[in-house]
Every structure is written in structure tokens, then in C-alpha cells.
Structure 1
Amino acid sequence: MAEITAAAVKELREKSGAGMMDCKKALTETNGDIEAATDWLRSKGLAAAAKKSSRTAAEGLVGVAVAGTKGVAVEVNSQTDFVAKNEIFQTFVRDVTSVAIELGDDIDAIKAAPLPTGTVEEVLTNNISTIGENQVLRRAKMVQVSQGAVIPYVHNAQAPGLGKIGVLVALESDAGVDVLEPLGKQIAMHVAAAFPLALSIDDLDPEVVEREAAILREKNAEKIVGKSPEVAEKILNGPIEKFKKENALLTQLFVMDGKTPVQDVIAKAAKDAGASIVLKDYVRFQLGEGIEKEESDFAAEVAAASGVSR
């Protein structure tokens, strides 16, 4: 058997666009023949999938699932919204969610997990070739409680447990599900609508707070001219404290009434139930959040494909 060198793997990667391990396997299968290895990759759909992997994937689906006192949310992206309606894609997202509920939210572990027709990563690669556009297993997060309930909510659902926004709310409590389910559902709907940045003020990212504080200080700079240090501090710090309260879940005003902090809503529910209820954690995945979408000129793409200049 011919020796598979790093240089050969590099050459095949550059020629086919396939992954390093796939290139190494292709060269092993073809006794180091670059051309044959390229054909082997194409026959497996790996070269085609690799070419599509450079295309921005900001559509797709968020999947949520709950098992006992733990729940998980995953995001799988595609290039177009049409794929979200594809049965193959929906089944894959459900399968990935089922894997994640057992393994946790380590993406590498999820990709390596077995499915009936191969590993998660292998099935994803095959789906890229079958469906014809790039797809990415982007992220996953698990929440759990030792006692209580994890309540799921999907906004803009495409199918059961699949949609554009997926939310999980973890309530640590000895109250019954008759109390926790409706409370958790309302809090989850609030999370979907209000987009909190963290559970509590103390959990807010210091860099985010400082960036906002710098903007607010500059915005209010003229207002403190000629003011005493005490008054100036109130003018500058007031908006910062307001920002913190409005972006931490527990101190946000509950969207159901617009006046009660979420932490007070939970406290009242606990008092009425005669039990302790603690909002331990939450997840909010919004499809494509933070992904910069490519702007395409369809007419220009058609002209380029036909060799006509514009």
C-alpha cells in the first residue's frame, strides 16, 4: 500500500474541498491515487458537500426536547427557508435533538454520535449532497434541575418541537407540574418575546454592560455640565442601571402585564403554591442569531452563470 503523505492529503483537500479525514480515507481507499481519490470523494458526495460548505447558512430550524428533568435546544442551519419544510431536514434536526438530550451540548460529541445510517456528521454530509445546499449543526445547550420541571416553548413552529425560536425554562421546585407547567410556559413565552441577555443582573456579560455604559455616558455628557458630582453620578448611572434591569430576565417586566418583574411573578406563584420555586436557568435560541447573511444579486448570479456581463 502506498504511503499517504501529508502533502498528498493537502493536495487533495485543495482540489476537492473535502475535509482532511475524508481526503485521507479517500487516498487510503485508492492507494494514494489523487485522481481516483477525487472520484471516490465525488462518488460519496463529499466533494460536492464541501463546495457547498462555503455558502452562508442562516436559515433552518431550532429543535427543543425535554426528558424528565432535563431539556435541550439545538440549532441546525441551512441556506434557505425552504429546507426547514423538508422532511429529511426536519427528521435530522429531531434526531440530533434526541442525541443531545442523552449526550449533552458538546457539539463534537453530538457529531460523533451514531444514527441508524451513520454518525450525525456523516448523515449531515449526506444531507448536504441530497438536499443540495449547505447545512450546519451550529450549537446546542442543555438545562436541568434536580427536582422540578423543564418547560419547552417553540415560537413560529414548523412542526412539533421545531421552529424559529426555541426556549427552555428550568424551574427548581417541589411544586407539582400543575403549578410549574403553566408558570414555565408563560415565562418561556416572555423569554421568546423579551430576549433577555442573562438570567440575573450579576450574570450579564461585563463587556456588554461596559460597552452600553460608554454609549450612555457619551449620550448624557452634556446633561452633567455644571452639575454636582452626586447629581452627575445619578444622571450617568441611572440609565446604566435601567439597561441592566431591562436585560436581565429576573428583573424584566413580565410581558403578560407589563408591570411586574419576572422574579415577583415567580415569588407569587411560589407563595400561592406553598412551595419553593427557583428559576434556575433558561435557553433562548433564535434561528440565525448573530450570523451575517450574504446579500445576493440573483440577476447577477444568472448572468455570471450564462457568461453574460452586466
Structure 2
Amino acid sequence: MAVTMAEISKLRKLTGAGMMDCKNALTETNGDIEAAKEIIRKKGQAVAAKREDREASEGCVLAAAKGDFAAIVALKCETDFVAKNDSFVALTKSILDAAIEAKATDLETVKALVVNGTPVANLIVDEIGKTGEKMELGYYEAISAPYTTAYIHPGNKLATIVGFNLADTDYQVAHDVAMQAAAMSPIAVSRDEVPADVVEKELEIAKDKARQEGKKEEMLDKIAQGRLNKFYQEVCLLEQAFVKDPKQTIQQYLHSSNKELTAVACKRITLNEE
């Protein structure tokens, strides 16, 4: 039977697939929309299987905050061209919105979510069928705190989320701290959260450097501790110099807004090389 342009357009709207893919699927199924949708989905599965060994190093990173919960999701693909495609960005946003609504705590939970009646895994396979590129849900981070904020750096390759201890935190103050986290890449909110193995490694590096400088053995611990403090100032969000005003730390900036205010959680995801 002949396939009409109206049928092709309808299937394309439902699936996002190309005109010829829609026409061929409808022709094969004698105009059966549901059967044609299944053919297009299977095509996506086949493409996904063929691309499994390819590297998905590009993608879209989005973040959002809703009350006491914030999340970041990174949907990965092969090329920057696809990463900037409106359909790909919209898919990333729909997954993020579902994760925020469900208050998903980890990547596996996000993968199991259903968006508008369709599992996230199937949505990704459908997008693979449209583009012919490998795609995967690469990263996911979430936080809960009395107040949360999110920042997406232009280009959708980097995003941060930050949580604060006070529900009435000023929006601009919170936004400034989220931008700080994007720019300065802290590994922890405070020094208490820096992993013990990282601290141990930094102390050993500092001691070795001091030895090479000819410092006395009995002075090494004190010198290493001093250099560790400097390390904390570089990698701990609250101790970092505020980018907008380096004369004060982030904690001092927060206290200038409210003496009780502090950051309690911070997550950062980037697909950029650093």
C-alpha cells in the first residue's frame, strides 16, 4: 500500500526518526504505526550493538535544583555535533527532570526510571536509532540539603550542584558558590571530607619535596603540614579564595550573607579535559 506524507510525518513526530526511515518502516508494516515504531526501535538496538566498542567522549551535562534536592546528569555520545542537537539536549533534560521528580540517588536508579511511559534505556536506544551514534548515561550525582542550587556552564559540558544548611539562603550567594565550584573544581566542601588516602599522599609528596630541598629530617612533618594546609585551601570549597573577591574565602563570603550560613554538599561533573 502507498504510504502518505501525513503518516510519515506522524511517525516522525512520534519517534524523531528520519523521513526515509519512517517511510520504509511504514511501507514494511502496511501503514501500521505501532509496528513501524517497533521496527525503528529495533533499528536503534541494532545500531547500539554495532557501536558498543566505540568511545562516547562527548555529550550533554545538565543540572537542576528543586527545593531540598538537586541533581546532575551526563548523557554521553560520540560527537560534539550530536551533543548540541536539540533532540539530544531535550532527552538529557527529560531524564534529569524525571530524576529530580523521583529524587533518584544513584545512576542505576536513574537508568530504571520511566519517562512518559517509556523506560530511560529505551529512550536512549531510540535516540541512537536517529543519530547512528553510541550513547550512554555516563554520570549522575545528587544531593539533599535544606537549600540547593545548580549551575550549568555555557556549552552543556560542565555543571555543579551545591547544598546549604539554611533554607532561606540568598539565591545570588548560592549561585556564586556554584559558579565557584565550576571554575575551581574543589574535591571536597571542607578539609574533613578530603579522603584519608589523598591526605596521606599529599603529606608524602610534601616530605619528599622538602628532602630534595635539603630540609632537616626532624623538620619534615612540620613543613609537610604547612604545605597540606595550602593544599586544603586549593581543593576545599569553603577554604578557596572567592573568585569574585580573592581577599576572602568562600566561607567568609557566606558569613557576610548570614553568620550561620555554610555549604554542606557539592558535586561537579564535566566532560571537558582538565
1:49-99 deviation digits (Å, cap 9, x = unpaired): 112121111111111122222211111111111112112211110111011
Match of 1:93 in 2: 92
Distance 1:105 1:134 in 2: 25
CA contact (8 A) 1:72 1:140 kept: yes
Match of 2:105 in 1: 105
Distance 1:278 1:64 in 2: 21
**In the superposition, relative to structure 1, how do residues 47 and 172 fare at CA in structure 2: closer, same or farther (>3 Å)?**
same
Among 235, 244, 247, the alignment partner of 1:259 is 247
**In the superposition, relative to structure 1, how do residues 68 and 228 fare at CA in structure 2: closer, same or farther (>3 Å)?**
closer
Match of 1:6 in 2: none
Match of 1:19 in 2: none
Distance 1:114 1:73 in 2: 18
1:190-222 deviation digits (Å, cap 9, x = unpaired): 111111010110101222222233222222213
Match of 1:190 in 2: 180
CA contact (8 A) 1:60 1:84 kept: yes
**Which stretch has the larger CA shift, 109-118 or 195-204?**
109-118
Distance 1:76 1:105 in 2: 17
Match of 2:11 in 1: none
CA contact (8 A) 2:60 2:84 kept: no
Match of 2:132 in 1: 132
State whether structure 2 residue 211 is matched by structure 1 residue 221.
Answer: yes
1:256-309 deviation digits (Å, cap 9, x = unpaired): 1112111111112104xxxx323121221112569xxxxxxxxxxxxxxxxxxx
Distance 1:215 1:252 in 2: 21
Q: How many residues align?
A: 235
Per the alignment, in what secondary structure is the counterpart of residue 105 of structure 1? coil
CA contact (8 A) 2:56 2:136 kept: yes
TM-score, normalised by the number of residues in structure 1 = 0.70
User: CA shift at 1:41, angstroms?
Assistant: 11
State whether structure 2 residue 163 is matched by structure 1 residue 165.
Answer: no
Residue segments in structure 1 that go unaligned for 5+ positions in a row: 1-39, 158-162, 291-310
**In the superposition, relative to structure 1, how do residues 128 and 240 fare at CA in structure 2: closer, same or farther (>3 Å)?**
same
State whether structure 2 residue 170 is matched by structure 1 residue 180.
Answer: yes
Per the alignment, in what secondary structure is the counterpart of residue 213 of structure 2? helix
Distance 2:44 2:69 in 1: 36
Match of 1:72 in 2: 71
Per the alignment, in what secondary structure is the counterpart of residue 173 of structure 1? coil
**In the superposition, relative to structure 1, how do residues 284 and 228 fare at CA in structure 2: closer, same or farther (>3 Å)?**
closer
State whether structure 2 residue 200 is matched by structure 1 residue 200.
Answer: no
**In the superposition, relative to structure 1, how do residues 236 and 169 fare at CA in structure 2: closer, same or farther (>3 Å)?**
closer
State whether structure 2 residue 233 is matched by structure 1 residue 240.
Answer: no
**RMSD across aligned positions (CA):** 2.3
CA contact (8 A) 2:64 2:151 kept: no
Per the alignment, in what secondary structure is the counterpart of residue 45 of structure 1? helix
State whether structure 2 residue 267 is matched by structure 1 residue 283.
Answer: yes
**In the superposition, relative to structure 1, how do residues 237 and 48 fare at CA in structure 2: closer, same or farther (>3 Å)?**
same
Residue segments in structure 2 that go unaligned for 5+ positions in a row: 1-38
